[in-house]
Amino acid sequence: MAQLAASQVAVTVPVGSDLSTRRSVFKTHSISFHDKSWAPSLSLDLKTKNARLRNRPIICQSVQQTSVPKVNVSPLYLENAKEPPLNIHKPKEPYTATIVSVERIVGPKAPGETCHIVIDHGGNVPYWEGQSYGIIPPGENPKKPGSPHNVRLYSIASTRYGDTFDGKTASFCVRRAVYYDPETGKEDPSKNGVCSNFLCNSKPGDRVRVTGPSGKIMLLPEDNPNATHIMIATGTGIAPYRGYLRRMFMESVPTFKFNGLAWLFLGVANSDSLLYDDEFKKYLKDYPNNFRYDLALSREQKSKSGGKMYVQDKIEEYSDEIFKLLDTGAHIYFCGLKGMMPGIQETLKRVADQRGENWEEKLSQLKKNKQWHVEVY
């Protein structure tokens, strides 16, 4: 399949051996343009294709999008806002939300525990995709007796409509921070992470103090619906991208009809540690020309050099495409543990050197163009 940069063209034309499969899935007689804005892009792009391609059936992304039912949401006022909501609830006056559900979302062989947590904010803590909430765990701050705990930030893993599609909930992807004594190898519960354990142990109906929303770095730029978004995650760093992808592929939102390319790289330990894999596989099936999904399973796969497979090894594998996409305006996002960045930066620098490019200059240009988005913790 020839995957073309979405910022360059609005139509991806599958060529070669997989064409017949695609043809059987998306029959041309099912073409229907519910939204007239799609029509000009089809005729324009048809004109630009060369003669060889013109003789082959062309499958338009917008045709695929209209053929896959999405969840209709009632647009929130947030759709018309020019700026994201910010710090509506401050640490001194947090909003008390309610836990809706807590679900372990990793398999038995995953190291550690990661939970998907949905909270009900009743529409009182509105947010945009890519923002975070602060959580104040119950109890006293051991460093400041008599005061509450410090706020811990958690990236929101849902769209502004929430997993309930009504704008009243927010979801998180939380990894339980546990402490193992390095000498005995035994868990020491007195040193376990306060907030992550509070969240992962909580039950439906429990109260949770929320601040925010906060953060502008990871907002999804929506000015160009044909843009390319390259998303790099390790572990719970997947949270903001789950929100982006649901907005792009799951919800029908009148103000944002995504027709570009979303390319997700996820690094986790093993297949039991995969997060939201079913959702992502469904997008791959429904939007094969708009979504790419690459995994780095450090404990199951080997890199080219025979070591563990980390996200930077996957980035290196596709570096030619990634660099070309960046040169044509793609956004690149990094989210997850702080430790992911040095290895990634090293790889990007090495690739740039091999291509005869100056990485520092390129990076500063990407930052200047607002294409570079990093949120690591």
| Binding-site annotation, residues | 155, 175, 236, 298-299, 308, 336-337, 375
Active site residue 195: no
Phi and psi of 259, rounded to 5°? -140, 20
CB of 319 to ligand FAD, least distance (A): 27
Known binding residues for NADP(+) are: 155, 175, 236, 298-299, 308, 336-337, 375
Candidate residues 152, 209, 257, 362; the one interacting with ligand FAD per rule CB under 6 A: 152
Active site residue 375: yes
Q: Which amino acid is at 331?
A: H
Q: What is the dihedral of CA 236, 242, 243, 249, to 10 degrees?
A: 170
Which parts of 191-220 interact with ligand FAD (CB under 6 A)? Answer: 191-197
Kindly state the DSSP code that residue 206 receives in the 8-state scheme: -
| Binding region for ligand FAD (CB under 6 A) out of 146-154, 224-232, 339-347, 350-358 | 146-154
Closest to ligand FAD by CB, 59 or 151 = 151
d(CA 147, CA 334): 34
Q: Where are the beta strands (DSSP E) in 196-238?
A: 207-214, 228-234
Closest to ligand FAD by CB, 199 or 248 = 199
Active site residue 310: no
Residues in contact with ligand FAD, shown as a per-residue x/- string from 270 to 309 under the rule CB under 6 A: ----------------------------------------
CB of 178 to ligand FAD, least distance (A): 6
Closest to ligand FAD by CB, 42 or 340 = 340
Task: Give, in order, the Cα–Cα distances in Å from 277 to each of 24, 218, 231, 264, 272.
Answer: 25, 21, 15, 11, 10
Length of the chain (residues): 377
CA atoms within 13 A on the CB side of 237: 25
User: In 173-214, which ranges are continuous DSSP H helix?
Assistant: 194-201
Active site residue 377: yes
Task: Give, in order, the Cα–Cα distances in Å from 241 to each of 26, 181, 219, 260.
Answer: 27, 33, 10, 15
Q: H/E element holding 243? A: helix 239-245
Active site residue 180: no
Candidate residues 154, 241, 287, 334; the one interacting with ligand FAD per rule CB under 6 A: 154
CB of 190 to ligand FAD, least distance (A): 7
91 part of the interface to ligand FAD, by CB under 6 A: no
179 part of the interface to ligand FAD, by CB under 6 A: yes
Number of residues that bind ligand FAD (CB under 6 A): 22
d(CA 353, CA 346): 11
Closest to ligand FAD by CB, 136 or 230 = 136
Closest to ligand FAD by CB, 80 or 190 = 190
Closest to ligand FAD by CB, 260 or 336 = 336
Candidate residues 175, 209, 247, 331; the one interacting with ligand FAD per rule CB under 6 A: 175
Residues in contact with ligand FAD, shown as a per-residue x/- string from 235 to 274 under the rule CB under 6 A: -x--x-----------------------------------
| Pairing of the two strands 132-136 and 114-120 | unpaired
Residues in contact with ligand FAD, shown as a per-residue x/- string from 32 to 61 under the rule CB under 6 A: ------------------------------
Task: Give, in order, the Cα–Cα distances in Å from 55 to each of 11, 22, 30, 40, 41.
Answer: 16, 16, 19, 20, 19
d(CA 101, CA 192): 22
Give the number of other CB atoms < 10 A from CB of residue 37. 12
DSSP-assigned states of every residue in 265-316: EEEESSGGG--SHHHHHHHHHH-TTTEEEEEEETTT-B-TTSSB--HHHHHH
Candidate residues 173, 269, 295, 326; the one interacting with ligand FAD per rule CB under 6 A: 173
Rounded (5°) CA angle 185-188-191 = 125
List residues near ligand FAD by CB under 6 A: 132, 152-155, 172-175, 177, 179, 191-197, 236, 239, 375, 377
Indicate which residues carry an active-site annotation: 154-155, 335, 375, 377
